[in-house]
Amino acid sequence: MSATHDYPELENIPPASPRSTLASSDAKRSRLVPKRAAAIFSTFPLHTYPPAKAYSPTTSAPPVKPTIDPIALRWQMELLFHGVDFEVRFIDPSHNWSPAKSMPFLHLPPRFRSDTPSSLLSATEIPHLIDNFYPVSRPELGEKEASAWEDAATKLEARSWQSLVRGRIMAGVLLAMLLSPQSAVYSRTDSQPYLSSLLSAHLQNSFFDQQLRRISALNPSASPSWAQPTTALPGWEVGFLGWIGAKTASAASPLSTADLDSRGGGDTPGAALASPSVDQDKVVADAAEGLRALAARTRAQLSATSSELQFLLGAQRPTSLDALAFSVIHTVLTLAATPQFQANGSNEPLRKLKEVLDESSWLVTWSKKIWKKYVKDLDRA
């Protein structure tokens, strides 16, 4: 006969007796570690740090078009004048990955890629795209090629003014842009991790160095000899580039192809070989003088009381001269309208260029008409 035993309820089961595991382990450790070593280790207690936080950089809203970069704005206007449908995307220039290591550039849609070796076109290749895909006239279709100018003399004069605006005036506007608070976004490395901060600092130095070489190439008379040191000693001109540690170079310097490619230059011939040291006062004086000369040449035409838009030098349609002139005038007006400049006006190049435009109201009115006809609707879109 088997006896039946009832199991106790769960709450009636007594808990197990505690085992002094910690005490025993401490005792074993004390026997294994010498007292002197234990005393040394006790001065370095273990510390558990909190888990690392993922770094997520804060990015401000990208600017809307038109851009404040006068060179990029020039090519945007060239495309608009030829009826090209395009979109503008902001890319940090300090990233330095564009085809010519410089802004601007075009990313072609798929329908163009069969005719070009690359889908990315630098600024130097934009004229070829316009001439072949968006020409003013097509002689192969029997269309007569119509010149924008009344005569050959005006056409030659327009080329001279284009050279002046693209050169010395553009150099002054670029310098004003570099000294504006809008360019300070390329120097924000405070909140980044150490390695990211180092990389960002390298890229921003590359960006400023590239822009200074552009200015030097656009106005060679404002650039000292490549062998001339940039120091604070009396008798030497200290340019803006000297303060950011830029290096000098020339065509005689032992530079590799990779070094020259990394410098970029975009649509500025000779920028890769130009010196990064510039005389700021000379750049500003030449730009203001050139802008004043353009104002004097166009005063009789643009001062006439007419609500209709007139193109510079009486052209029948917008030309590269209009695109260049609008880009520099609009950039100066845009930078001068910022609260930072109106508060202190410490940007000397911008202040002097704005003074010329204040004396040349017809140029300001003309640029507003260009903006209203070609850019205003684009901005709203």
CB 354 within 8 A of CB 194: no
* 29 CB-contact burial (10 Å; exposed 0-12 / middle 13-18 / buried 19+): exposed
Contact indicator for 101, 118 with CB cutoff of 8 Å: no
Tokens of 312: 């510079």
At residue 307, the pLDDT reads 80
How wide is the angle at C-alpha 171 spanned by C-alphas 167 and 174, nearest 5°?
Answer: 140
Structure-token pair, residue 227: 């062998």
Strand pairing partners for 105? Answer: 122
Distance between CA 238 and CA 301 in Å, rounded?
41
Separation CA 126–CA 147 (nearest Å): 20
CA distance 190 to 77: 36
Q: Please list the ranges in the chain whose pLDDT falls under 70.
A: 1-8, 10-11, 13, 16-31, 54-66, 92-97, 113-116, 139-143, 184-205, 224-267, 269, 305, 377-381
- Note the pLDDT tens digit of each residue in 272-329: 777 778 889 999 999 999 999 999 999 999 987 678 899 999 999 999 999 999 999 9
Q: Where are the beta strands (DSSP E) in the chain?
A: 105-107, 120-122
Residue of 169, 213, 209 lying closest to 186 (CA atoms): 209
> Would you state the pLDDT for residue 122?
85
Residue 347 contacts residue 358 (beta carbons within 8 Å) = no
Q: Which residue ranges make up each domain of the chain?
A: 70-130+152-380
Phi (first) and psi of residue 122, to 5 degrees? -80, 175
Q: What is the pLDDT of residue 119?
A: 82
pLDDT of residue 314: 93
What is the chain's length? 381
Sole residue written with tokens 């075009």: 106
Calculate the CA 127 to chain-centre distance: 21
Contact 208, 266 (CB under 8 A): no
Residue whose structure tokens are 């490395």: 189
Strand partners, 120: 107
Instruction: Please write the tens of the pLDDT for every residue from 38-53.
Output: 788 777 777 778 877 7
